[in-house]
A and B are shown apart, each in its own frame.
Chain A
């Protein structure tokens, strides 16, 4: 089945997400769709899978123009999509998730769950994708959840399968395994689209590459001849430096000292299980690991948002294990939270209000309980200018900023005050390349001024580029430590998968 997108344009209000995009997807081929965050890749594929409707242009399948009135139509036409955020119901079983929407039924609309299990098992043996049909989704690891997503698509006999940033949540080993799966699907004659912003992945697995920038196709690439640098320039629109420039570290006093920390998660399970490490002033310590291995809880414990059940945390020699978030804050700890939308900013507040979200009580901004708005506005304007947050006014709502500018707002808020330690969780998630470079630069500057920096990221490239020391977290423990710049991606990847944690 061959699919052609012709002249696709999609607007969200004044924003043009896709502009006159032409793309052909062929059977037995992996098309790499490359573009940075916000380039319009996901929008384009949502149009293909019937979630959105294009304002202009048409979709042509095997020479016939089709009109999708909803995802159901796209599924019926043989188009399947594996979304970046899995579209799985967490409390349902694997079988229930797979058959949802095309369920086998008996009399009285009764769900034939036995038949569903059998069908799931059939598909998984046919394609070599093993999974227990009775397992509850929220209880299985993300790698398996992704398999369920693939089975779901195959179950609907899709001929075209779109993968949106499929490797974001996987370990390097899982990525290799995943590439094996999509190659075998290609060999089975499926047409595959692999959406990513990671250059080396697309070079490794794609048969053909299209590059999307600012909603337009700006070029094609041949994976056999193209280089990283060419593709990157195509993707960003200017030459890109791959490495973060930094001088050798000059570690000083210990700023943060974590000893034998145990932390519970929401479900009262032990998420951090006896973690000890220290961060010195003037060094960047990176924590690598697949999402969900206790990093979130560790950061929350360090920043005072979650109380540990055992162990101690010392900050500049003082025990802060039981200190409130506010106390840690005042003593000079900065925190870039992992999900800016959820906790880093308040979308319906303006930029100034967001800028003082954790400093409003400070003498600079208030006298007693009276807030001094003129001072807040003036100071915000200065910080916004300093940190290159692109906005027209400090009175604009944070919602109206792009993802990159929202993140710069958070970074600006945290770095603009007098700090001794910075805890940054996923500092560049979902951010454009320009903002990534800028944020990385400010983080390294902060280190060079003598702050201790702790970075937690699931992006291995980011950890390897910034860190002076790398710790790997797996199932709540630190399972490996590497010297920055000396560790290879394979070694770290193995540790992320728990290879060193046999003991």
Chain B
């Protein structure tokens, strides 16, 4: 055949857009360098003390002591170097890496500035909280991955989380923690099934169906909460799952508390991400599910039942989100409050996009949000000059910036959001 497969020849001058991006990143890094030097560098005095272990840990590490001002200047210098390198070399493969390193450095400089001259900042504690706070977001993102991989946009994750939180508290109070978890998974699955029925069978617009489920769940849980829970408090008083210390591993410094002294929700989320990755990318059923998300008609012509596949995966997504919802009650406070999920489901959706529709990617993105979340919490304690309201905005701002920055590079499943009409 005359038409060969080399498209490399035509791709030669493709770096046009890339170069522009590299320049933007270069200037951004330079701006960050100036910011770090002028704000953090000039304003810091004294040392920032980061605690890596708790006093009674078996293998205690010494505190990490960083001279804040000097560190800020070093960070500024590195940022400036990276920025200049971008501007000079332009269009290299290192653009996103440079940006990533840059942001990481800015965050560390920020921490040093915030902790400077204070009594001490528990780094391990913050990392541990990062993982904990990433759980609902990671599970929300995973629910998004599972349903969008079969081309159903799932705006209803927020509602499924809320339903899971509510049911976890109610059934947890009646049946104990595990009963609550199972009920939460069940209720999430139920709402997943309802979403599937609305969008697959009744062809309701996917976003409308999701929004309506959110409103419905918010109304129902708030109604029961004010109608029943306020009267019978025993129904909203569930046991909380404690952290499980994994022998030996949990004694390791830093790593131990972060990864091996967590409750079942953290372990569950990690396992679910692994299982979902295996399912989607290494099994027959996963291949079929993805084909339904990419080209449903092709799947249909090969005898794959598009509707059933969508029902099953969206229901599974709901179950994952229901489990994530139980974290809010059974995994932290044991009590349901109206609207307590506070937009985590939507942040989960952002994590899914940022994670490029891959379970592991969604988890990684969730960790970034979890970090922003735990950071603002710890900083509120440190009494920085930044008002607490602005700290509380951090995760949301991070979501907006990341979603805006990543779009165009990530590619959603081809049929995402489109109903499949079998003729």
Asked if A173 lies at the interface with its beta carbon under 8 angstroms from chain B, I say: yes
CA distance A143 to B282 in the complex (A): 29
9-residue interface stretch from A106-114, A203-211, A389-397:
A106-114
B284–A87 CB distance below 8 A: no
Asked if B56 lies at the interface with its beta carbon under 8 angstroms from chain A, I say: no
A51–B300 CB distance below 8 A: yes
CA distance A140 to B294 in the complex (A): 18
A139–B5 CB distance below 8 A: yes
B294–A498 CB distance below 8 A: no
B13–A101 CB distance below 8 A: no
Asked if B295 lies at the interface with its beta carbon under 8 angstroms from chain A, I say: yes
Contacts A89-B291, A108-B283, A264-B14 given: A497-B3 contact, CB under 8 Å? yes
A89–B301 CB distance below 8 A: no
Inside 8 A of B282's CB, which chain A residues have their CB?
A: 110-111
CA distance A496 to B17 in the complex (A): 30
Contacts A100-B287, A101-B304, A144-B1 given: A90-B299 contact, CB under 8 Å? no
Asked if A52 lies at the interface with its beta carbon under 8 angstroms from chain B, I say: yes
A87–B302 CB distance below 8 A: yes
Inside 8 A of B11's CB, which chain A residues have their CB?
A: 269-270
Inside 8 A of A83's CB, which chain B residues have their CB?
A: 301
Asked if A485 lies at the interface with its beta carbon under 8 angstroms from chain B, I say: no
Q: Kindly identify, within residues 277 to 326 of chain B, every residue whose CB is under 8 Å from any CB belonging to chain A.
A: 282-288, 290-291, 294-295, 297-305
CA distance A90 to B53 in the complex (A): 51
Q: Kindly identify, within residues 264 to 288 of chain A, every residue whose CB is under 8 Å from any CB belonging to chain B.
A: 264, 267-271, 273
Closest A residue to B1 by CB, please name it: A143
Asked if A213 lies at the interface with its beta carbon under 8 angstroms from chain B, I say: no
CB distance from A298 to the nearest CB of B (A): 13
A92–B294 CB distance below 8 A: yes
CA distance A108 to B282 in the complex (A): 10
Inside 8 A of A91's CB, which chain B residues have their CB?
A: 294, 414
CA distance A252 to B209 in the complex (A): 59
Partner of A173, one of B2, B12, B14, B294: B2
Q: Kindly identify, within residues 32 to 60 of chain A, every residue whose CB is under 8 Å from any CB belonging to chain B.
A: 46, 49, 51-52
A71–B3 CB distance below 8 A: no
B14–A111 CB distance below 8 A: no
Inside 8 A of B13's CB, which chain A residues have their CB?
A: 262, 270, 309
Q: Kindly identify, within residues 166 to 184 of chain A, every residue whose CB is under 8 Å from any CB belonging to chain B.
A: 171, 173-174, 177
CA distance A497 to B11 in the complex (A): 20
Closest A residue to B8 by CB, please name it: A269
Partner of A100, one of B7, B297, B304: B304
Inside 8 A of B96's CB, which chain A residues have their CB?
A: none
Closest B residue to A99 by CB, please name it: B287
Asked if B423 lies at the interface with its beta carbon under 8 angstroms from chain A, I say: yes
CB distance from A10 to the nearest CB of B (A): 10
Which applies to chain B's interface (DSSP): helix, strand, loop or mixed?
helix
Inside 8 A of B304's CB, which chain A residues have their CB?
A: 72, 100-101
Asked if B227 lies at the interface with its beta carbon under 8 angstroms from chain A, I say: no
A100–B291 CB distance below 8 A: yes
CA distance A269 to B298 in the complex (A): 27
A89–B294 CB distance below 8 A: yes
Partner of A87, one of B14, B290, B295, B414: B295
Q: Kindly identify, within residues 145 to 170 of chain B, every residue whose CB is under 8 Å from any CB belonging to chain A.
A: none
Inside 8 A of B201's CB, which chain A residues have their CB?
A: none
A100–B288 CB distance below 8 A: yes
Contacts A111-B282, A111-B283 given: A497-B295 contact, CB under 8 Å? no
Asked if B9 lies at the interface with its beta carbon under 8 angstroms from chain A, I say: yes
CA distance A89 to B302 in the complex (A): 12
Inside 8 A of A498's CB, which chain B residues have their CB?
A: 2-3
Q: Kindly identify, within residues 96 to 135 of chain A, every residue whose CB is under 8 Å from any CB belonging to chain B.
A: 96, 100-103, 105, 108-111, 135
Asked if B93 lies at the interface with its beta carbon under 8 angstroms from chain A, I say: no
Residue-by-residue, is B173-196 near A (CB-CB < 8 Å gives 1, otherwise 0)?
000000000000000000000000
Closest A residue to B286 by CB, please name it: A111
CA distance A83 to B300 in the complex (A): 12
CA distance A87 to B295 in the complex (A): 8
CA distance A81 to B300 in the complex (A): 12
Inside 8 A of A476's CB, which chain B residues have their CB?
A: 10
A70–B5 CB distance below 8 A: no
CB distance from B44 to the nearest CB of A (A): 43
CB distance from A90 to the nearest CB of B (A): 7
Closest B residue to A12 by CB, please name it: B423
Residue-by-residue, is B248-274 near A (CB-CB < 8 Å gives 1, otherwise 0)?
000000000000000000000000000
Inside 8 A of B298's CB, which chain A residues have their CB?
A: 87-89, 100
Contacts A109-B285, A262-B13 given: A101-B302 contact, CB under 8 Å? yes
A270–B14 CB distance below 8 A: yes
A72–B285 CB distance below 8 A: no
A141–B287 CB distance below 8 A: no
B288–A268 CB distance below 8 A: no
CA distance A497 to B2 in the complex (A): 6
Contacts A90-B414, A92-B294 given: A143-B3 contact, CB under 8 Å? yes
Closest B residue to A499 by CB, please name it: B2
Closest A residue to B422 by CB, please name it: A51
CA distance A403 to B2 in the complex (A): 34
Inside 8 A of B284's CB, which chain A residues have their CB?
A: 103, 105, 109-111
A71–B283 CB distance below 8 A: no
Contacts A88-B295, A268-B18 given: A475-B300 contact, CB under 8 Å? no
Inside 8 A of A301's CB, which chain B residues have their CB?
A: none
A271–B1 CB distance below 8 A: no
Asked if A232 lies at the interface with its beta carbon under 8 angstroms from chain B, I say: no
B16–A100 CB distance below 8 A: no
CB distance from A428 to the nearest CB of B (A): 25
Asked if A75 lies at the interface with its beta carbon under 8 angstroms from chain B, I say: yes
CA distance A267 to B303 in the complex (A): 32
Q: Kindly identify, within residues 6 to 49 of chain B, every residue whose CB is under 8 Å from any CB belonging to chain A.
A: 7, 9-14, 16-18
CA distance A143 to B4 in the complex (A): 10
Partner of B303, one of A101, A141, A174: A101
CB distance from A43 to the nearest CB of B (A): 9
CB distance from B300 to the nearest CB of A (A): 6
Q: Kindly identify, within residues 209 to 249 of chain B, every residue whose CB is under 8 Å from any CB belonging to chain A.
A: none
Residue-by-residue, is A56-81 near B (CB-CB < 8 Å gives 1, otherwise 0)?
00000000000000111101100001
A52–B18 CB distance below 8 A: no
Partner of A103, one of B14, B287, B294: B287
Residue-by-residue, is A229-270 near B (CB-CB < 8 Å gives 1, otherwise 0)?
000000000000000000000000000000000101001111
Inside 8 A of A269's CB, which chain B residues have their CB?
A: 7, 10-11, 14
CB distance from B202 to the nearest CB of A (A): 20
Residue-by-residue, is A183-198 near B (CB-CB < 8 Å gives 1, otherwise 0)?
0000000000000000
B291–A70 CB distance below 8 A: no
A111–B2 CB distance below 8 A: no
B5–A141 CB distance below 8 A: yes
CB distance from A295 to the nearest CB of B (A): 14
- By CB atoms of chain A within 10 A, which of B287, B297, B304 has the most? B287
CB distance from A272 to the nearest CB of B (A): 9
CA distance A92 to B293 in the complex (A): 12
Inside 8 A of B302's CB, which chain A residues have their CB?
A: 71-72, 75, 87, 100-102
Inside 8 A of B18's CB, which chain A residues have their CB?
A: 268
Instruction: Give the 5 A-B residue pairs with the shortest CB-CB distance, closest first.
Output: A72-B303, A101-B302, A87-B298, A497-B2, A109-B283
Q: Could you list some 23 contacts between A and B, CB below 8 A? A: A70-B300, A70-B305, A71-B303, A83-B301, A89-B290, A89-B298, A100-B299, A100-B302, A101-B304, A103-B284, A110-B282, A111-B282, A111-B284, A111-B287, A141-B3, A143-B3, A171-B3, A264-B17, A268-B14, A268-B17, A271-B10, A497-B2, A499-B2
Question: Could you list which residues of chain B lie within 8 angstroms of chain A, going by C-beta atoms?
Answer: 1-3, 5, 7, 9-14, 16-18, 282-288, 290-291, 294-295, 297-305, 414, 423
Question: Could you list which residues of chain A lie within 8 angstroms of chain B, going by C-beta atoms?
Answer: 46, 49, 51-52, 70-73, 75-76, 81, 83, 87-92, 96, 100-103, 105, 108-111, 135, 139-141, 143-144, 171, 173-174, 177, 262, 264, 267-271, 273, 290, 309, 475-476, 497-499
